[in-house]
Structure 1
């Protein structure tokens, strides 16, 4: 049964029933508001209502839906009943939507673009905290996309696309590909394979792991905002978010990880059992060098030595490995 709040706005409202029609009408409304069409990934919707005069909407689904927006790796929970007041570029006074921050679920009360020209969508929680994400992460990419099924056809089409982008044809060594999709308008691709594939690029002796679902935004010479691809450094798997040529004439291909790589150099300070703020020491990730900023024992009695990079990542190894 709908809440009293919804019942207060039923009079004069447009009300739709059934999952398919509710999805269609809610997407049309998001388009009308100039908001991403994938903001309401609800399932088994029973009712969608919109009171235009009051600027109030509601969505009712059979049960709570937890959804992960994969591009930004953000979990959002939608209650059986979701409501909001709406205006162009904005949802406000929302109920029924929560986002996970650390181990806490925080209520989302507003979703909006700061400006009509903004590329990022801002989420504001009931605590006053807010965060912004690329709006494309909330779009529906299957709509209008070229979609192919079956391993042989998917391989052929993905290789053709890499050629079209002037990228190496062996970048996606996936197996048992079930689906390949390309939304040309959004510049978004996805590949779905039966299971994770670990692959070693023998020429550079580098291991790369491909998840069952791989996605990316593409442009000539470049894959960006990638998900589902990781490369191993130390004993850690780092997400690869971009693969690109710096220039059309470049002979080298650049791989960028989700750690936001950067090199900063400061004078080294030394304390017992620890070197910190180091300069001149780096560890290699793909074709990039990551700065090692600390090498230390957690305790004087530790048998393992920890290496920490400038990205915040760290790993520990038996100290004997570094003995003469």
Structure 2
């Protein structure tokens, strides 16, 4: 990044010192039509902007700053050097900015306000994930290391539960099926234990039906509630379980999962696989439909820890 900065230094406006750098940053964000609180860096040592190339940079004294925008409860990390190419309503080819998703820090590569939705700021990560938030969440005075109420978010489309019900029916013949919360929970935990997965991995409530077809490897759970959102406290990860949860099971793995989502970048992403690898028997890996995956200590999903 330092090399990139040097290549744009000639002809650039450069100032040094936290007060003037903060002022110039806010003025530039305002000029291009972005919220003035979007870059809350600390102890800024240098601000630079090359109007001819559209390149801007900030150098802060700290190695990095992790900042939480309180209205949306979103944590963003700013490195010692932050750079971007700027244009009206947009920062692009950003470096040095990351957002925390699925316990991973994902690089933010673009931030923009679309002409069609001037009240929304959209963040795009290097993985292709993007989401939009109320621009007011990034106004000066509305960002903090504290958490308050969540801002409005773009909601993903609902899953078609009818298709899952049809899938269950296609595996019902020859399956072991039980009804009632207590016996369903018992069977669910026994199956997870048999597979070598943590018994607290599926903490659903008011389970009305459990089914497992040993021949096809297909299992399902149907709960009375529309959905249950559950936070695994050791890893502070929220997972949503739909009315119907299904999966194909094998030793150490649930695959082709339906009805389970994890919350990332204010979006609910479908979890498609959960497994324990032979090489890391103490870790449970979650894989989402976007290709994102991460591993957690298996103890986080033990009964009594959820």
- TM-score of the aligned structures, taking structure 1 as reference length: 0.51
Report the counterpart of residue 197 of structure 1 in structure 2.
Answer: 65
Alignment pair present for 1:316 and 2:295: yes
Structural mapping, 1:1-324, within 5 Å: 140-195=7-62, 196-247=64-115, 249-261=117-129, 270-272=248-250, 273-279=252-258, 281-299=260-278, 302-319=281-298, 321-322=300-301
- 5+ unaligned residues in a row in structure 2: which ranges? 131-155, 165-245
- 5+ unaligned residues in a row in structure 1: which ranges? 1-67, 71-136
Change (3 A) 1:287 1:238: same
Work out whether residues 261 and 290 of structure 1, in 8 Å CA contact, stay in contact via their aligned partners in 2. no
For 1:301 and 1:286, the matched residues in 2 are separated by 28
Offset at 1:247? Answer: 2.4
Work out whether residues 5 and 57 of structure 2, in 8 Å CA contact, stay in contact via their aligned partners in 1. no
Change (3 A) 1:318 1:238: same
For 1:156 and 1:248, the matched residues in 2 are separated by 29
Offset at 1:313? Answer: 3.2
In angstroms, what is the RMSD of aligned CA positions? 3.2
Offset at 1:145? Answer: 1.1
For 2:97 and 2:81, the matched residues in 1 are separated by 9
**Larger RCO (CA under 8 A, 6+ residues apart):** 2
The C-alpha deviation readout for 1:34-75, integer Å capped at 9, x for no partner, is xxxxxxxxxxxxxxxxxxxxxxxxxxxxxxxxxx787xxxxx
Change (3 A) 1:139 1:260: farther
Change (3 A) 1:160 1:138: closer
